[in-house]
Chain A
Amino acid sequence: MVDRSGTPLVELRDIHIAFGGVKAVDGVSVDLFPGEVVGLLGHNGAGKSTLIKCLSGAYRQDSGDVYVKGEKVNIQTPRDARDYNIETIYQTLALADNLDAASNLFLGRELTTSLGFVDDSAMEAETRKIMGRLNPNFRKFASPVSALSGGQRQSVAIARAVYFEAKILIMDEPTAALGPQETQMVAELIQELKKDGLGIFLIDHDVHQVKRLCDRAAVMKNGELVGIVDVDDVSTDDLLGMIIAGKTPDHLAA
């Protein structure tokens, strides 16, 4: 079981984000402990991705605070997030299709030679090492990532997060575009990262997957938090009820 007695790895407190007049996220608070996977569930447009983007630095919240290891932090840009060891695997993967795997893996954090030039050979060697661990069948190191399959692209995106020793990992529908075998690969990876003490936010549509992979599930509807539940306490039907009707199961409602 996850030890939730210490300081949470991440705490989002009372986050508000509005676009024009639309409240995309309305007073949501979520926390995440080391070695824990928290699933974020909800319909399209429920505000899950928007909420998580103020942790990854892609958006700024209008109000509310973000705490990392108990300290209040100010995340303005994706670079700030990286400085706090927060890595994000976006739904779109955020890969530059025209570059090869190594260039994508190190994008924004290139290894350089003593003269300050990018060191392609060193980056390719590092990429070969990490891919050997994550996806041993990966061979296309010289091709642009546009030539890779969905699973291979996904493994490049995951490698990028894992390589830089993330402490907090955000995965936005990591298995949406994958086949069963590759989905299994991601599931195993999540278990492995959990053991290493990472905290993972997993955004997903699939309640079965959330029940299988996550420790807790936070359900959102129309920008508001419906509730946070221990996945072992609820059935998939309970979760669906929370997503669709927006009401907490009777046996948990105090």
Chain B
Amino acid sequence: MADASAPSASPPRKSLMQTLEVDTRLLGMIGAFAIVCIVFNVMTDGRFLTPRNVFNLTIQTVSVAIMATGMVFVIVTRHIDLSVGSLLATASAMMAMMQTSILPGMGLDLGDPWIAPLAILAGLATGAAIGALQGYLVGYLAIPSFIVTLGGLLVWRNVGWYLTNGQTIGPLDENFQLLGGIGGTLGTTGSWILGLIAVVVACMAIWSARRSRIAHEFPVKPVWAEAAMMALSAVAILGFVAVLNAYQVPSRVLQRDFQARGETMPEGFTQGYGVPYSVLLLIAVAVVMTVVARRTRLGRYIFATGGNPDAAELSGINTRLLTVKVFAIMGMLAALAAVVASARLSFHSNDIGTLDELRVIAAAVIGGTALAGGMGTIYGAILGALIMQSLQSGMAMVGVDAPFQNIVVGAVLVLAVLVDILYRKRMGAR
């Protein structure tokens, strides 16, 4: 046993996991994810865990994962949002029209560097406004969120349709397309630098949390446990970067690039893709949302309201305004997901984001967000989205028929919730 070597200061012996203070639920999810990956890897003769597939899996997950982080807040406050897929479509339509007709009509040339940021801003504002409107209907007029967003599911899908007259709009602005995934990556050197920065930040976060506990004379983990956590996060971050860097840009694409610049490609020249901008965006969203959830009053009030709405209200929290804020955040994240989704396709179509609401809710729930409210984590939801996407694309690679794919995904969702209920019973919490 590893912990036998540690000086046993406290009489009741702790297991290795307890000493490391690893979240067992997180461990279970990572375990489930690992099993899914390994099984598909065996069934596809090693094609599942290639850098190419890992890269694709990552960029396919981003859009749903971004929305799932917002859905955690919605579900934690005991609401639901069924409209995110349609909201994504409206935001996407808005941004597509901005790029192809509104901004050019205002005098900006196609390809102008201002087009992408202005279009994105308009999209985010649209998403936040729609979300806030739905939040107002739920919070102030007390219409159940299920009904408001079920209505929204129909309304926003068709507002998007109306905005574009049902046409597919494309191609989108070149700079805008950089956020789609394969079209915009950091490159290998940039990715390594980013990875190293992330490792330093992770280690500093672990260390400063420890310092703060020591300052208030709270018990802390042994130093080796902290070091182990740091090493673990370093391996995870750098391993992820290494895999994304290992995916080589096809040589004919490189050749074309060199030709476009009027140069000839040197013999044996290779280039890795590295971390896509869309993944950077997801990481940024995850960090911000985690900070909001854990370290801000807003996050504290969201969880308190989910745990006991009456108590929150009696504590002076404006739970109605809180509902508006939560839905506005959800709407803005749906718009952000719309950026990634439409940029990845390079055009806007009417059916963009169809059924995404179910994927997003499933990701949040598989990630351990309790529908009864008050419980959920951002990283869990992202991991949930990754598990869902792995299942889906793994089955497609193995050649499972389309109907069976959906049957399996549906069954997994129900099973995940059952496992979660059993786990909570065993842990004695509620």
Contact = CB atoms under 8 A, between A and B. Distances in A.
Interface of A: 56, 58, 77-79, 82, 88, 90, 92-99, 103-104, 107-110, 112, 116-118, 121-122, 124-125, 144, 146-147
Given A96-B308, A97-B308, A98-B306, A88 B314 contact: yes
Given A108-B301, A117-B291, 19 more contacts: A58-B314, A78-B314, A78-B315, A78-B316, A82-B316, A96-B305, A96-B312, A96-B374, A97-B374, A98-B303, A117-B295, A117-B296, A118-B300, A121-B215, A124-B216, A125-B216, A144-B429, A146-B429, A146-B430
Interface residues of B, number: 32
Contacts of A56: 314
B317 A108 contact: yes
A107 B317 contact: yes
B216 A107 contact: no
B308 A95 contact: yes
Contact of A121 (B212, B305, B428): B212
Contact of B216 (A93, A96, A99, A122): A122
B216 A78 contact: no
Contacts of B305: 96
Find the residue from A82, A88, A98, A124 having the highest chain B CB count within 10 A. A98
B252 interface: no
A94 B315 contact: yes
10 contacts: A78-B314, A79-B316, A96-B311, A98-B306, A99-B307, A107-B304, A116-B296, A117-B291, A121-B213, A121-B218
B374 A92 contact: no
B304 A103 contact: yes
Contact of B295 (A93, A103, A104, A118): A118
B182 interface: no
Interface in B270-320: 291, 295-297, 299-301, 303-308, 310-317
Given A98-B375, A124-B216, A146-B429, A112 B311 contact: no
Given A94-B310, A95-B308, A99-B307, A147 B429 contact: yes
Contact of B316 (A77, A95, A147): A77
Contacts of B315: 78, 94, 107-108
Given A107-B312, A107-B315, A112-B297, A121 B216 contact: yes
B300 to A, nearest CB: 6
Contact of A110 (B297, B306, B314): B297
A107 B302 CA distance: 11
Contacts of B308: 94-98
Contact of B300 (A82, A110, A124): A110
Given A79-B316, A110-B297, A124-B218, A95 B213 contact: no
A156 B91 CA distance: 46
4 nearest A-B pairs in the assembled complex, by CB-CB distance: A98-B307, A96-B307, A79-B316, A108-B315
A117 B428 CA distance: 31
A79 to B, nearest CB: 4
Contacts of B296: 116-118
A223 B243 CA distance: 72
Nearest to A160: B315
A180 B337 CA distance: 57
A90 to B, nearest CB: 6
Contacts of A108: 301, 312, 315-317
Contacts of B307: 96-99
A232 B314 CA distance: 35
A107 B317 CA distance: 8
Nearest to A53: B314
Find the residue from B217, B299, B307, B430 having the highest chain A CB count within 10 A. B307
Contacts of B218: 121, 124-125
Contacts of A147: 428-429
A94 B314 contact: yes
Contacts of B213: 121
A107 B300 contact: yes
Given A97-B308, A121-B216, A103 B300 contact: yes
A94 B297 contact: no
A43 B430 CA distance: 33
A118 B311 CA distance: 19
Interface in B308-357: 308, 310-317
B429 A96 contact: no
A109 B291 CA distance: 19
